[in-house]
Amino acid sequence: MSDTHAQTVSYVRDTMLPESSPPTTEVGAVKWLRENLFSSITNTVLTLLSIFVIYWILSHVGPWMLGGIWNAGSLSECREIRDATVGSDHGVACWAVLSDRWHQLLFGYYPSELYWRPILALILFLGGLAPVLFDKVPRKMFILSAVAPFLCFWLLWGGSIWLPISIALGFVVGYVVYGPLTKTFGSLAGIIGAIVLPLLYWLFLSGSVYAGLDSVLPIGIEFVESRAFGGFMLSVVIGLSAIVLSLPLGILLALGRQSDLFIIKTSAVVFIEVIRGVPLIVWLFTAQLLLNYFLPPGTNFDLTLRVIIMVTLFSAAYIAEVVRGGLAALPKGQYEGADSLGLSYWQSMQLIVLPQALKISIPGIVNTFIGLFKDTTLVVFIGLFDPLGIASAIRASTDWNGIYWELFIFIGAMFFIFCFSMGRYSLYLEKKLQRENR
């Protein structure tokens, strides 16, 4: 440093300053509050107004909910306990209806000594679904995924073990004929044969196969009629069955609608537009009254199974349009790239097109599933005891006549848990796929 420059600078620091903490207003909760709640005068006013509204609601609803009564045998007994403790001028929730009728809200009129069967069926179903939803689950679990639907069916309804086995043989038939038909007549013929032949087997042969096996070696558990199903058990059975079945069917319908083959495209378009153009409640009445007329003579299909079929078809039509939107969003270069690699139609769909289309369609698909699960409450109009139907039956009894909010809050909370879980899984899957593509 020159002498002239040294004389003009009073002090030159020759050591680094130690690190200091950032200002309190720039870190932690204070920073979050400043940026999200008090960033401007308008936001500050809205924040204070929201805090007042939340306080007012909690101050009125909180004591009613938290001070509720859990031990009572009827609504009149709840009121007697309330009058003796807090006075008749104060309202309190009578949660005792939940402790008294929880089994009906969850299982309907299913025999209490057999509650282990629907619980085990749900565990098996979730175990079979795990390798499909999470890639870290061992691939050997796909064996459980294949057999879980038939085991769940048998556990829920009971009866002979040969009934689900005879149904499973239909899928074996489709798997066996697919290869030879594809080699001989092409992939389209193989797919049509793998769909049509199992349907014919189920309609005309499965009953005879079941009766023959059952007569030779009768093995089974106690049979439970569908009218005993109710509550959230019924909603879960209908909702999860329709969700699992409608996704692959909706994908096939979406591909059919984009097909160059006139018959397949027209059939897919007619099916989708007819199903979507009619309210679900009409299809439920169709399942209740008319579906048996389209089955072979002498066939008596269980009402719950008919409802599952109709809800599945209804959901598949909406899934097809969601997936079609994902297919339309892909650049044309993806299809041309698959053709340039020499891939067949089904290979390009499986390896290149569908994975990208389904990734785009995840929010719409999950949204459709959430709406489907909530729409299971419509079965109350055809005589099935969903949670709302069970709530009406409980309120019709002399013990709990006049109770409303407690039942509806519980039902709403249960539906929220199911739907919120599906929404969170959708977000998890979206974030996971975004990380993998970086």
pLDDT digits (tens, 9 = 90+) for 190-240: 888 888 888 888 888 888 888 898 888 888 899 998 888 989 999 999 999
The whole-angstrom separation of Cα 69 and Cα 78 is: 7
Residues near 240 by beta carbon (within 8 Å), at least 6 away in sequence: 125
Q: What are phi and psi of 209, to 5 degrees?
A: -65, -45
Dig out the tokens for 279 from the structure. 């309210």
Cα dihedral 184, 170, 355, 138, rounded to 10, equals -120
Q: Do 160 and 167 contact (CB within 8 A), yes or no?
A: no
Q: Output DSSP code: residue 114.
A: G
Numbers of helices and strands, H then E, in the chain: 19, 2
pLDDT of residue 303: 83
pTM (predicted TM-score)? 0.83
Q: Cα–Cα distance between 316 and 244 in angstroms, integer?
A: 10
Residue 353, judged by CB atoms within 10 A of its CB (0-12, 13-18, 19+), counts as buried
Structure tokens at 391: 């709530």
| Cα 306 from chain centroid (whole Å) | 19
Model pLDDT, residue 320: 94
C-alpha dihedral sign at 328, 374, 149, 273: negative
Within the chain, which residues score under 50 in pLDDT? 1
Q: What's the gap between Cα 325 and its chain centre?
A: 21
Burial 326-341 (b: 16+ CB within 10 A, else e): bbeeeeeeeeeebeee
Which helix H or strand E contains 160, and what residues bound it?
Answer: strand 159-160
Q: What class does CATH assign to 101-110+224-436? A: mainly alpha
Q: How far apart, in whole angstroms, are the C-alpha atoms of residue 420 and residue 414?
A: 10
110 contact partners, CB below 8 Å, separation of at least 6 = 118, 224, 228, 229, 230, 233
The span from the CA of 31 to the CA of 37, in Å, is 10
Task: State the pLDDT at residue 4.
Answer: 52
Res 182: pLDDT: 81
For residues 181 and 177, give the distance between their C-alpha atoms in angstroms, rounded to a whole number.
Answer: 6
Using CA atoms, how far residue 180 sits from 177, 183, 184, in Å, is: 6, 5, 6
Q: Are 419 and 372 in contact (CB under 8 A)?
A: no
Q: Is the separation of the CB atoms in 64 and 91 below 8 Å?
A: yes
Partner residues linked to 94 by β-bridges: 69
**In the structure encoding, which two tokens stand for residue 234, read together?**
């019924």
| Residue 235, token pair as written in the block | 């909603």
Give the length of the chain. 438
Measured CA distances, 349 to 223, 244, 328, 344, 432 (Å): 43, 20, 13, 9, 22
Residue 3 Cα distances to 10, 13, 349, angstroms? 12, 17, 78
Summarised one tens digit per residue, pLDDT across range 245-267 is 999 999 999 998 988 888 889 99
Domain ranges of the chain: 21-66, 101-110+224-436, 162-221
Q: How many CA atoms lie within 13 A of 186 on its CB side?
A: 4
Contact 238, 373 (CB under 8 A): no
